[in-house]
Structure 1
Amino acid sequence: MADCIRVRGITAYGHSGVFAEERQLGQRFIVDLDLQMDLKEASTSDNLDDTLDYAAAIALVRSIVEQEQFALIEAMAERIACRLRQLDKRLSAVRVEVHKPQPPLAGFTGTVAVEVWR
């Protein structure tokens, strides 16, 4: 079984979506991560250099959501996953789940989410 760092509830305000009003007004997105890597060295050394700096991962996710635009949350999730893999080459797998609370769909008040594994 792979070791995993889980980060839940990264919230950022972005201007992505299919509809013009989504891109103009913006909306809140919530991102969850599962970051798989060998944590044995970090667990014995107790040294940040031996693990993923999750503060840097959170900052990366926020910058993508806040500064880039996507028509689809699928594309947003893919960009986040690829950039996280670039952030730390020790990651063996990355799971990104992007939630779009209350998308502008008539009569729908729930959340839509996509999940990608890379």
Structure 2
Amino acid sequence: MDKIIVKDMMFYGYHGLYPEENKLGQRFTVSVELMTALKKAGETDDMNDSIHYGQVYQLVQKIVEGEAKNLVEAVAEDIAHQLFDQFDKLEACTVKVDKPGPPIPGYYDKVAIEITRERQDYA
């Protein structure tokens, strides 16, 4: 399967379980892999035969910078669901949400979740 990869998009959001996360916010990094057939787009050189990654960025930005959620899992699920709603050519996607420096004890760079969904998951 062909892929469009939009990697390490950065946004500022207010997602988390703790009140300080909802009040102060923090940076989130999101990457998506969009599985779709790209042969026709490669042959026609026509954007209508592909998925516009500028529109993908705007969709992800609206979600991450929008309504606060308790879990990054919910953020990723919302992104996947809306990607399928907006892009008919999308067959499957992987969404990774990184949360650098969450307010939990320990030494680490970040926590992250990654989900993979297929169009049939939302049928």
Query: Under TM normalisation by the shorter chain, which class is it?
Result: over 0.9
Q: Does 1:20 align with 2:15?
A: no
**TM-aligned CA deviation for residue 90 of structure 1:** 1.1
Backbone CA RMSD of aligned residues: 0.8
How many residue pairs are counted as aligned between the two chains?
117
The Cα of 1:87 is off from its aligned counterpart by: 1.1
Q: Which amino acid in the other structure matches residue 23 of structure 1? A: N
What is aligned with 2:61?
A: 62
**Whole-angstrom distance in 2 between the partners of 1:61 and 1:10:** 9
Give the structure-1-normalised TM-score. Answer: 0.96
In 1, the alpha carbon distance for the partners of 2:29 and 2:20 equals 19
- 1:1-118 equivalences in 2 (<5 Å): 2-118=1-117
The structure 1 segments of at least 4 consecutive aligned residues displaced by more than 6 Å after TM superposition are none
Contact 1:14/1:67, CA 8 A, preserved across alignment? yes
Deviates more, 1:18-27 or 1:98-107: 98-107
List gaps (5 residues or longer) in structure 1.
Answer: none
* 1:89 Cα deviation from its structure 2 partner: 1.4
Compute the TM-score of the two structures, normalised by the length of structure 2.
0.92
- Does the residue aligned with 1:113 lie in a helix, a strand or coil? strand
The alpha-carbon deviation at position 24 of structure 1 amounts to 0.3
